[in-house]
Structures are given as structure tokens and as C-alpha cells.
């Protein structure tokens, strides 16, 4: 891992550690937990888009598989929560292989279309055959670690964000390793990297599985935090929101996913005061943000930081 | 037999709207290579504005019809001028697609502000008893929907093949750089493509509202279905979207009829993915064209 | 400049004094979570309007023993995650005494662990049975809408009287339609009714002819549609166009004049179990619910130019229960809960006459419905 990346992560971890100590408001903590969950999904998509040049409009599908499988295993089969979370992630990764192989053999936008279809199918299946159908089901057990059950927002906040930080460290290392460089090369030119002897398709499939890994993990955490699931949380709308997070944050940097998740999750909370008009205001803000901050907020922040250093 | 016929009629009704939305996708895609995910909102604008002029302001039918199309065209125009044009030179397709999503949220917000959340409807174009054909029943409005869709397709066909502007648009869809070198004003073509796709969407909305009602948030579903229709027929192929739309509609109603209505959307999607994996360029697409595409 | 400043100060002071004099006591804060936007906005919209109107009326009349009430309405956007955030905000930031809503069963289920942990009484405006059952685990939870099963019982009882034995059901694939579907399938054998077709459609579907044609071919003697929103109007129109020749029954979600307007002549003859709020003007004057319904509906119509419908009524009942509890026991969460559980007896609300008890946190049964038919563009109570 590069030095400045390590430094950023260190500072970031400190911030996360201190935040709940300063703001004792569990409402803010709850927002923080949802930002963390969304950030996990968004980081996966950032790698897929920024480093493999592929778009997915179906992350809600993996998010949903993670949530439902984990919830069902722990609630109806009595498995320990951590084990069911793990199994749920495995299931999502296997499913992702079946999408990735046919879709990534083809060039262009096929992954986008295939994931769109996949996400919708998962949603419809959950609606039709999920426990409780469209009404959803509750009483899902909470996360417990070595016999200790997490109940408060503090515990979940630290749990979610530790995972986000681990995922960030892992992802930074991945990108800096050989695979990461090859991935950047794909984004540049597929033909060129193929001539150098990089197996592009295999790499793309790996990254896609990784994004499914992160999304399903986030879904499993969601399930055991909210303890109630219904299909509506896993619709196309969520996939589009994640896509929006990544674009608003910026795809050129891993932090884009985190920053985007922060902005998109917190915006509706800030707009609560607008009541009926919030959809309109939300649309206006998004449009303006996309039009004027084209590369995403992270490059904008970095640029500002650099200028500030030069002064 | 009667039942099968009934299912097909039902499929044609919904398929018509999917086809019109799909055509809209294709027109914009051909000139810009972007997927305009606000396409479904134009259908909603069509239905709701028609209600506003026809029922709200009590204007004559044809006047309301024309005014509605004008409003939709204006929205398409503004959308292109304000959000697509500033970005198009950068060529960042993903960003532009995201902007269309943001615009669709914005349009939804505006419609909710103006019309609230209630569904709206107005009387069918012609009043009268439904027509019985070999035991299957078709309402008169269904015939209108299918008829208007066919008229739209015919007009578009003539436009793209017989007029200078239409041919220029077609040229752009084949090779935008060559078209520019030939002296075609590409930026005008892009603007025109947004206006035309908005108007077509609105026509669909006007025709379907007496059957299916219209409310502010129906657009997202229509966008997805229309997109599937365009994909099935091969993105960018005008004829493809028509066949794709009708196929999707009929598939849905056949699934509802013969398999299970709870699964109709899922089965239709499965078939779409299946077609996609077998024939990546769609039913009508040619694979060599796909290779030129960036997205 | 100085004069302006002085003027400004005077205005500010007078505002302060004015507001001080009208309410010298601290307001009672109540939280409300409604699906004002999103898929379930047909519920949240009238609920929000009702609450805003009632708050104004109560405060104009002097509040509760001099305390004004303040209801903080949060929009959950028909989304469970948003409902969780809203509940957290109301409990942690606003420190509300009680929560009314959410509007849907899913959102209610999602926040039950939070309100239970925080020990805040909650009166849900959603119908799902799992909200208040099992009562032991739902110590802090109440709800004002009738159970879906009560509406189904009302329909089946009426059908039995009419000799209908085979029905085709068509339901919307949302939580509302799904819980109705389950109740329809579950209760049919008890009434000697056979469900011969079980069809579904999506919330944004444009045409249900295929499903209805299948029901027609299945030999059903009646169709039951269970949905809210545009779907129930489209089904009615398709049913009319298909000339199915069998009666169409709708759920209790049908109770809005707007549905009759939208469906036009297709709505003639449609039968549904509706709360008395829809047919209040046709009730005898002696009916205990009539005065409440009359005042509520006429006030609402005057203010919002639309009907409150059954759903607005759920919020009315929920808020009035909390208000009555506050009047009697003051601002104490536990006491409010106990009051609602034990003292809401033979309590006429908009939804029916409530009888809460430690065993029943809903307090309504099928007698709170009337079977109503559409005749000449208006409702008519069936005997």
C-alpha cells in the first residue's frame, strides 16, 4: 500500500473511532451505519467501474441475496449469524460467476444489461418466494461475536466501519498489486493489454465477483441490523442509487465510493425539511452535481487540497 | 383459442407502449450512444398533460393533443440543451446516463408537485361498446393504442428514409465522425433526437392513459420495460424496438395466462437475457455494428 | 437605520409575547411516520393531512389542559430503511411521547424493535396481523386498521348468503395485496368457498385482461380483487370490457369516490367491504360513529378538497387515542400505553368501535365493515 493511502486510512479510522464519542446521538449513528453499509456496496462498484471499466445496474441483486440468504439461514435453520453471513456471501459469489461468464465474454454494454435483468429477477423472486412475500419477514437474529450480541447503535457503527476500513485496505492493496495495474490497463485499451498477455476476461470476472462479495456482505449486515427484510429494499431503485453514489463520488479513486455513499445517504435526511418538495430538490441537486462536478467529488476535494498545499 | 387470442390482444396493448418507449431509446442512442433513462417520464408527461389540457382546461381534443406534444417536445429540448449538451463534448457516456437518471427524478418531482400522487384518466377517444372478435374482447381504446403506434412507426419510417433531416440522423447513427465530415450538423441532430423521442413517448402516454390511468411515478417501470424491448430487438435498430416491444408484451401476457401471473415479469426478463446471450446483437441487430459501439 | 432596528425589535418582542400568552405551557410532542411519498403514498398523504388538521383544531381549542400538541411528521418514503431512520430521529432527537404510524406493515415491522427497546408507545396505521401479534412481544405496539382477515370475513359471509361457491382472486403483488391474498386463501374453506383461480399483477401494470380472461375461463362465480391505487380501477375497467358476467368484489381499499370517478360506468355493481367513513351520510343518526365521521369528513373535505377515505381515518383514530390518553394521564410514555390498552373500550372512532385489551391491541372486528355496492355513481349499503 502506498504511503499516503495508508496515512489517509489511518486518519479516517481515527475519525470513525472518535465520531460516536463526540456525537452521542444515536440518530446520527444510525445514519452512519447506513452510510457504512452503502459504502461497502459502492466500493465494490467503484472498483468494477473505475478499474475494470464495467457497469453493473444489478448490485441490489447481490445485496438482496446477501441479506435474504443470511437471514433465512440464521432464522429458519438456526445457524450462527456469522456463519450464515459467510454462507450468504459464498452464495452471492457463486451466482455472480454465472452472470459474469456469459456476459463478460461479450464486449461492450452486456454486463450492464445482464445485471439489470439479474437484479430485477432477484427482486421478483424475493417478492414471489421470499419468506413473507412482498410483506417481508422480521425477528431476524442480531449479529453476535463470541457469544456477545450486538444491540446498540454504537456496536453496529463500529462493526460496520471496521469492515469498511478492512475492505478499503484490502482493495488498495489489490489495486496496487499486479492485478490492479492490469485492470487499469483494461480500462485504457483492451487490445493493448491483450497483446501484452494479460487475460482480460478472467480479471474482469474476478473483479465482478469481488463487487458481489462486498455487496452481499453489506446486505447481510443490513439484515441483521434492521432485523426486518422486505423485497422493496432490494429493487432496481437501490442499484441505481449505488450507481449514483459511485458517479457522484468519482470512479477514479476508491474513496469515491465512500464519499458518494455519504452524500447520497445523507442528502434525503438533510432534505427532510422540504417535505413534499424533497423529490424535486433532490433531483435538482443531483443534476447540478453531475453537471458541474463531472469527475466526482473526490477528485474535486483532492484538487482543492493540492491547491491549498501549494499556497 | 379464444383465450389465446385474448392474451395476444392484452399483450399487444401493453406491447405498444413498450415499443414506443423502445423506439425513443433507439433514436437517442443512435445519435448520442447514451441510454436516456428519462424516456419513461415522457410517457407520463404525455398522459398527465393531456389530462391537464383536455379535462382540466376543457380544451378541444385535437388542441390538447397538439399542446401536449408541444410540451413534451419542449421538455425534450430543454433536457438536451441544459443537461446533455454541456457534457457531450467530453464524451463521458456514463456521466450522461447518470444525468438522465437525475433528470428523471427531477421530472417526477415536478409532476408530483403539479399533479399530486393520484392517478388520472380521461374518456377513451371513441365511446362505444368493446368489439368482440372470435370470442375475444377488444376495447376500442386498445385499437386506438395499437393503431396510433402503427401510425407513429410509419411516420418515423418515412421521416428516416425520405426526408433529408431523417437521412442525416440515420447517417449519424451509422458513423458520427463521417457524418460530421459530410457537413451534417451533429449537435442539431442530437437535439432533434431528444425532441422526437420525447414526442413519441408522449403519444404513447396520451393513447394508453384511458386504459391504464397515469400517475406521476409510472415512468421508471416504463423505462425499464422499454429498455428491455430495445435490447431484445437490438439496441439502435428502429424496427427491432417495435418487434421487441410487442414480443415483450405478448410474452408477459402469455406467461400470465399459461404459466403464472406472479412470474410474468421474471419470465419475460429470463427470455430477454436468454436472447441476449444467444444473439448478443438482439433479434435484428448485426454484430458488426455492435463492435463500433463504445457502450 | 436605528428606527428600523427599533421597529424590528418591537415586532420580534410582540411576536414573542403573543406566542407566550397563547401557550404558556410546554407542548406535548408526538411523532408520526407516514409514507407521504413513494409506493404507499396513497396511505401516507391522507394520514399526514388528517394529523395536520387535527393538531390545528386541538390547539385552537386550547390544547390539552393548556399544553399545545406538536406532531412531528416524518416521511418514510415507503421505505423500511427510511422508516428506521425516522423512528430513531423522533425518539432520540425530538424525544416524542408516542409514535403514530408507520403507514405500511413492512415499515411498522422494521421499527418495532426500535420503539420496543426505547419503550415508546406506537400506534401503527397498517393492517398486518403480525404488527400486534403475538401481543406478549408487542407490549408497546397498537394498531387502528382492522385486520385484513376481517375484511375477507365480511366478503365471504356476504358471498355465502348469495350462494357463491367458487371465486377467482386477483391480487396486487405488494404487501397490501399479498396479505389480502393469504387471508383469502386461508379463510375460503371455512366458508365453504373454493378459490379456483389465483392471479396476480404488479403495482405499475397497465392491463390485467389476461389474468381476468383466465379467471373467466376457470368457472369462477365471482372475482375478488385485492389492491389499492390505480390497479383496482384498471381491473374494474378490464372486468367491464370483458363482460365477464360475474360480480366483481373489491377490498376495503376501494372506498374512495375517486375510484368511481376514474372507473366511470365500469364501477357500477362493484361490491366491497368498506369502513363506515365512506358511507357516513347513509348511516342512521343514532349510530355512535356518525357524529365523529360527519365532523371529520366535512372538515377534511373543506380543507383539502378531497376525501380522507378509510386510510386518513386510521391516523385520526391513532392520534385521538394518544390525545385522549394525554388528557387523562399526562406526558408519560408508560402511562399512555397502559391507558390505551385498558381504557379504550367501546370507543367510537372512524374505523369502528374500538375495544382494546391486553389480549387485543387492535380492537376491531368484521362488524366494523359494511358491504357496499356502487349504484348510480354513489355508494349504497347492502343489507
What's the whole-number mean pLDDT along residues C278-306?
87
Q: Say if residues C74 and C33 touch (Cβ distance below 8 Å).
A: yes
Please give the pLDDT value at position A73.
95
Task: Look up residue C287 and give its three cell numbers.
Answer: 349510530
Average pLDDT, chain A: 85
Residue contacts between A and B (CB atoms, under 8 Å) = 107
What's the whole-number mean pLDDT along residues C276-280?
86
- B60 min Cα distance to partner chain A (Å): 31
Sign of CA dihedral C170, C175, C178, C180: negative
Question: Looking at per-residue confidence, does A83 or C129 come out higher?
Answer: A83
* Cβ neighbours of C245 in B, within 8 Å: none
pLDDT at residue A123 greater than cutoff 50: yes
Which residue in B112, B212, B257 is closest to C234 by CB distance?
Answer: B212
pLDDT tens over chain B, length 295 residues: 788 988 998 899 889 999 999 999 889 988 888 889 899 999 999 999 999 999 999 999 999 999 999 999 999 999 999 998 888 877 777 788 888 988 998 999 899 888 888 889 999 998 888 888 888 888 889 899 999 999 999 999 899 888 988 888 888 877 777 888 888 888 888 999 999 999 999 999 999 999 889 988 888 889 888 988 888 887 777 778 888 899 899 989 898 888 888 788 887 788 778 877 777 666 665 554 444 444 4
What's the whole-number mean pLDDT along residues A65-82?
94
Question: Looking at per-residue confidence, does B172 or A243 come out higher?
Answer: A243
Between positions 91 and 120 of B, the ones with CB within 8 A of C are 112, 116-120
Residue A95's pLDDT band (boundaries 50, 70, 90)?
very high
pLDDT at residue A181 greater than cutoff 70: no
What's the whole-number mean pLDDT along residues C232-256?
89
- The pLDDT tens digits of the residues spanning A5-59 come to 788 888 888 888 888 888 777 788 888 999 999 999 999 999 998 888 888 889 9
Please give the pLDDT value at position B3.
86
Closest residue in C to B218 (Cα) is C204
User: What Cα–Cα distance (Å) separates residue B119 from each residue in A89, B42, B104, B127, C140?
Assistant: 41, 16, 18, 21, 36
User: What is the spatial distance between Cα A303 and Cα A305, in angstroms, rounded to a whole number?
Assistant: 5
Please give the pLDDT value at position C233.
92
pLDDT at residue C17 greater than cutoff 60: no
Quick check: B269 and A102 CB within 8 A?
no
pLDDT at residue C181 greater than cutoff 80: yes
* Cβ neighbours of B212 in C, within 8 Å: 205-207, 230, 234
What's the whole-number mean pLDDT along residues C271-285?
87
Question: Looking at per-residue confidence, does C326 or C128 come out higher?
Answer: C326
Quick check: C37 and A136 CB within 8 A?
no
Quick check: B109 and A243 CB within 8 A?
no
What's the whole-number mean pLDDT along residues C110-136?
86
pLDDT at residue A191 greater than cutoff 70: no
Quick check: A138 and C110 CB within 8 A?
yes
| HEC assignment per residue over chain A | CCHHHHHHHHHHHHHHHHHHHHCCCHHHHHHHHHHHHHHHHHHHHHHHHHHHCCCCCCHHHHHHHHHHHHHHHHHHCCCCHHHHHHHHHHHHHHHHHHHHHHHHHCCCCHHHHHHHHHHHHHHHHHHHHCCCHHHCECCCCCCEECCEECCCHHHHHHHHHHHHHHHHHHHHHHHHCHHHHHHHHHHHCHHHHHHHCCCHHHHHHHHHHHHHHHHHHHHHHHHHHHCCECHHHHCHHHHHHHHHHHHHHCCCCCHHHHHHHHHHHHHHHHHHHHHHHHHHHHHHHHHHHHHHCCCCHHHHHHHHHHHHHHC
Kind of pairing, strands C347-348 and C271-275?
unpaired
Task: Look up residue C109 and give its three cell numbers.
Answer: 415491522
Could you tell me the pTM of the whole model? 0.85
Q: Say if residues C341 and C136 touch (Cβ distance below 8 Å).
A: no
Please give the pLDDT value at position B293.
47
pLDDT at residue A106 greater than cutoff 70: no
Residues 6 or more apart whose CB falls under 8 angstroms from that of A202 comprise none
* Cβ neighbours of C110 in A, within 8 Å: 138, 226-228, 230
- C174 min Cα distance to partner chain A (Å): 5
- Secondary-structure class of domain B2-290 per CATH: mainly alpha
pLDDT at residue A190 greater than cutoff 80: no
Kind of pairing, strands C99-100 and C222-226?
unpaired
Closest to C71 (Cα-Cα) out of C90, C45, C86: C90
Task: Look up residue B262 and give its three cell numbers.
Answer: 406472479
* Cβ neighbours of B281 in A, within 8 Å: none
Q: Say if residues C110 and C80 touch (Cβ distance below 8 Å).
A: yes
Please give the pLDDT value at position A109.
66
Q: Say if residues C166 and C148 touch (Cβ distance below 8 Å).
A: no
Q: Say if residues A55 and A111 touch (Cβ distance below 8 Å).
A: yes
Give the A-side interface with B, CB within 8 Å.
49, 55, 102-103, 106-110, 112-114, 116-118, 120-121, 124-125, 128, 236-237, 240, 243-244, 247, 251, 276-277, 279-284, 286-287, 290-291, 294
pLDDT at residue A189 greater than cutoff 50: yes
Quick check: C39 and A230 CB within 8 A?
no
Cα torsion through B2, B8, B11, B12, rounded to 10:
-120
Q: In Å, how far from its chain's centre is CA A300?
A: 21
Please give the pLDDT value at position A161.
94
For residue A179, how many other CB atoms are within 10 A of its CB?
16
Helix (H, G, I), strand (E, B) or coil at B28: helix
Quick check: A290 and B99 CB within 8 A?
yes
* Cβ neighbours of A230 in C, within 8 Å: 80, 106, 109-110, 175
Q: Report the range out of A60-64, B6-10, B256-260, C113-117 with the highest average pLDDT.
A: A60-64
* Cβ neighbours of B222 in C, within 8 Å: 204
Please give the pLDDT value at position C20.
46
Question: B110 — contact with chain A (CB < 8 Å)?
Answer: yes
Closest to B82 (Cα-Cα) out of B107, B60, B99, B61: B99
* Phi–psi pair at C224, nearest 5 degrees: -120, 120
User: What is the spatial distance between Cα B109 and Cα B246, in angstroms, rounded to a whole number?
Assistant: 30
User: Which chains does A contact via 3+ CB–CB distances below 8 A?
Assistant: B, C
**What domains are there in chain C, each with its CATH number?**
26-146+291-365 (3.40.50.2300), 148-281+369-381 (3.40.50.2300)
Amino acid at each position: 500500500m502506498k504511503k499516503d493511502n495508508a496515512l489517509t486510512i489511518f486518519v479516517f479510522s481515527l475519525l470513525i473511532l472518535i465520531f460516536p464519542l463526540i456525537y452521542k446521538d444515536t440518530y446520527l449513528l444510525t445514519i452512519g451505519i447506513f452510510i457504512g453499509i452503502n459504502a461497502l456496496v459502492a466500493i465494490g462498484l467503484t472498483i468494477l467501474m473505475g478499474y475494470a471499466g464495467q457497469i453493473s445496474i444489478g448490485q441490489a441483486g447481490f445485496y438482496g441475496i446477501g441479506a435474504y440468504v443470511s437471514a433465512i439461514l440464521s432464522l429458519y435453520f438456526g445457524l450462527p449469524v456469522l456463519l450464515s453471513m459467510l454462507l450468504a456471501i459464498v452464495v452471492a459469489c457463486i451466482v455472480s460467476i454465472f452472470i459474469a461468464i456469459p456476459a463478460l465474454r461479450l464486449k461492450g454494454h452486456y454486463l450492464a444489461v445482464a445485471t439489470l435483468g439479474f437484479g430485477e429477477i432477484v427482486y421478483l423472486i424475493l417478492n414471489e418466494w421470499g419468506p413473507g412475500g412482498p410483506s417481508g419477514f422480521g425477528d431476524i437474529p442480531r449479529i453476535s461475536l463470541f457469544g456477545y450480541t450486538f444491540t446498540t447503535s454504537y456496536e453496529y457503527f463500529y462493526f460496520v466501519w471496521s469492515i469498511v476500513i478492512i475492505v478499503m485496505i484490502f482493495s488498495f492493496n489489490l489495486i496496487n498489486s499486479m492485478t490492479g495495474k492490469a485492470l487499469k490497463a483494461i480500462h485504457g485499451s483492451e487490445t493493448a493489454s491483450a497483446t501484452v498477455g494479460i487475460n482480460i476476461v478472467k480479471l474482469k470476472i474476478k473483479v465482478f465477483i469481488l463487487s458481489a462479495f462486498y455487496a452481499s456482505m453489506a446486505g447481510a449486515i443490513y439484515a441483521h441490523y434492521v432485523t426486518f427484510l422486505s423485497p422493496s429494499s432490494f429493487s432496481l431503485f437501490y442499484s441505481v442509487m449505488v450507481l449514483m453514489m459511485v458517479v457522484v463520488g468519482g470512479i477514479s479513486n476508491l474513496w469515491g465510493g465512500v464519499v458518494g455513499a455519504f452524500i447520497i445517504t445523507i442528502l434525503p435526511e438533510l432534505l427532510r425539511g422540504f417535505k413534499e418538495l424533497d423529490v424535486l430538490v433532490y433531483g435538482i441537486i443531483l443534476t447540478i452535481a453531475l453537471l458541474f462536478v463531472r469527475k466526482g467529488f473526490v477528485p474535486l476535494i483532492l484538487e482543492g487540497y493540492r491547491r491549498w498545499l501549494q499556497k | 383459442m379464444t383465450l389465446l387470442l385474448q392474451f395476444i390482444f392484452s399483450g399487444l396493448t401493453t406491447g405498444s407502449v413498450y415499443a414506443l418507449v423502445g423506439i425513443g431509446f433507439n433514436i437517442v442512442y443512435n445519435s448520442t450512444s447514451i441510454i436516456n433513462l428519462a424516456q419513461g417520464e415522457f410517457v407520463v408527461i404525455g398522459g398527465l398533460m393531456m389530462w391537464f389540457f383536455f379535462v382540466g382546461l376543457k380544451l378541444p381534443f385535437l388542441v390538447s393533443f397538439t399542446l401536449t406534444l408541444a410540451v413534451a417536445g419542449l421538455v425534450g429540448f430543454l433536457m438536451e440543451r441544459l443537461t446533455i449538451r454541456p457534457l457531450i463534448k467530453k464524451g463521458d457516456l456514463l456521466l450522461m446516463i447518470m444525468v438522465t437518471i437525475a433528470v428523471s427524478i427531477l421530472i417526477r418531482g415536478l409532476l408530483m408537485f403539479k399533479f399530486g400522487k393520484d392517478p388520472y384518466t380521461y374518456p377513451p377517444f371513441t365511446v362505444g361498446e368493446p368489439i368482440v372478435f372470435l370470442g375475444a374482447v377488444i376495447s376500442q381504446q386498445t385499437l386506438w393504442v395499437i393503431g396510433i403506434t402503427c401510425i407513429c412507426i410509419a411516420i418515423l419510417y418515412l421521416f428516416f428514409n425520405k426526408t433529408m433531416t431523417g437521412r442525416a440522423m440515420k447517417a449519424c447513427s451509422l458513423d458520427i465522425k463521417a457524418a460530421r465530415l459530410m457537413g451534417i450538423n451533429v449537435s442539431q441532430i442530437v437535439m432533434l433526437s431528444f425532441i422526437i423521442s420525447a414526442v413519441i413517448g408522449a403519444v404513447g402516454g396520451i393513447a394508453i392513459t384511458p386504459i391504464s390511468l397515469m400517475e406521476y411515478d409510472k415512468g421508471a417501470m416504463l423505462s425499464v420495460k422499454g429498455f428491455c424491448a430495445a435490447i431484445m430487438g437490438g439496441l439502435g435498430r428502429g424496427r427491432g424496438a417495435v418487434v421487441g416491444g410487442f414480443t415483450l408484451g405478448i410474452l408477459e401476457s402469455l406467461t400470465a395466462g399459461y404459466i403464472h401471473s406472479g412470474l410474468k415479469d421474471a419470465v419475460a426478463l429470463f427470455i430477454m437475457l436468454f436472447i441476449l446471450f444467444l444473439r448478443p446483437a438482439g433479434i435484428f441487430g448485426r454484430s458488426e455494428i455492435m463492435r463500433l459501439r463504445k457502450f | 437605520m436605528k428606527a428600523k432596528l427599533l421597529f424590528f425589535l418591537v415586532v420580534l418582542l410582540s411576536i414573542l409575547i403573543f406566542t407566550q400568552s397563547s401557550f404558556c405551557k410546554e407542548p406535548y410532542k408526538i411523532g408520526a411516520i407516514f409514507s407521504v411519498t413513494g409506493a404507499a403514498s396513497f396511505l401516507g398523504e391522507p394520514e399526514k393531512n388528517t394529523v395536520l388538521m387535527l393538531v390545528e383544531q386541538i390547539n385552537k381549542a386550547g390544547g390539552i389542559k393548556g399544553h399545545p400538541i406538536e406532531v412531528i411528521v416524518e416521511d418514510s418514503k415507503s421505505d423500511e430503511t427510511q422508516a428506521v431512520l425516522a423512528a430513531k430521529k423522533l425518539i432520540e432527537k425530538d424525544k416524542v411521547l408516542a409514535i403514530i404510524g408507520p403507514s405500511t406493515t413492512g415499515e411498522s415491522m422494521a421499527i418495532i424493535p426500535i420503539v420496543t427497546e426505547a419503550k415508546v408507545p406506537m400506534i401503527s396505521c397498517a393492517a398486518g396481523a403480525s404488527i400486534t401479534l403475538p401481543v406478549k412481544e408487542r407490549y408497546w405496539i397498537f394498531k387502528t386498521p382492522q385486520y385484513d382477515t376481517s375484511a375477507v370475513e365480511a366478503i365471504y359471509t356476504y358471498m355465502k348468503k348469495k350462494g357463491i361457491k367458487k371465486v377467482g382472486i386477483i391480487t396486487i403483488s405488494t404487501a397490501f395485496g399479498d396479505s389480502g391474498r393469504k387471508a383469502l386463501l386461508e379463510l375460503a374453506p371455512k366458508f365453504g368457498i373454493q378459490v379456483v383461480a389465483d392471479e396476480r399483477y404488479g403495482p405499475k401494470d397497465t392491463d390485467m385482461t389476461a389474468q381476468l380472461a383466465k379467471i373467466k375461463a376457470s368457472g369462477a362465480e365471482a372475482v375478488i380483487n385485492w389492491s389499492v391505487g390505480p390497479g383496482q380501477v384498471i381491473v374494474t375497467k378490464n372486468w367491464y370490457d370483458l363482460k365477464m358476467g360475474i360480480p366483481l368484489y373489491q377490498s376495503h381499499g376501494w372506498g374512495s369516490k375517486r375510484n368511481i370517478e376514474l372507473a366511470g360506468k365500469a364501477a357500477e355493481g362493484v361490491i366491497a367491504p368498506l369502513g363506515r367513513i365512506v358511507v357516513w351520510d347513509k348511516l342512521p343518526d343514532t349510530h355512535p360513529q356518525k357524529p365523529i365521521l360527519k365532523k371529520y369528513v366535512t372538515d377534511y373535505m373543506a380543507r383539502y378538497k378531497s376525501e380522507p377515505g378509510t386510510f386518513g381515518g386510521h391516523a385520526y383514530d391513532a392520534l385521538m387515542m394518544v390525545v385522549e390518553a394525554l388528557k387523562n394521564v399526562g406526558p408519560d410514555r408508560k402511562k399512555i400505553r397502559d391507558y390505551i390498552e385498558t381504557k379504550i373500550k367501546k370507543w367510537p372512532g372512524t374505523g369502528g368501535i374500538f375495544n382494546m385489551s391486553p389480549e387485543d391491541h387492535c380492537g376491531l372486528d368484521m362488524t366494523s365493515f359494511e358491504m357496499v355496492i356502487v349504484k348510480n355513481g354513489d355508494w349504497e349499503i347492502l343489507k
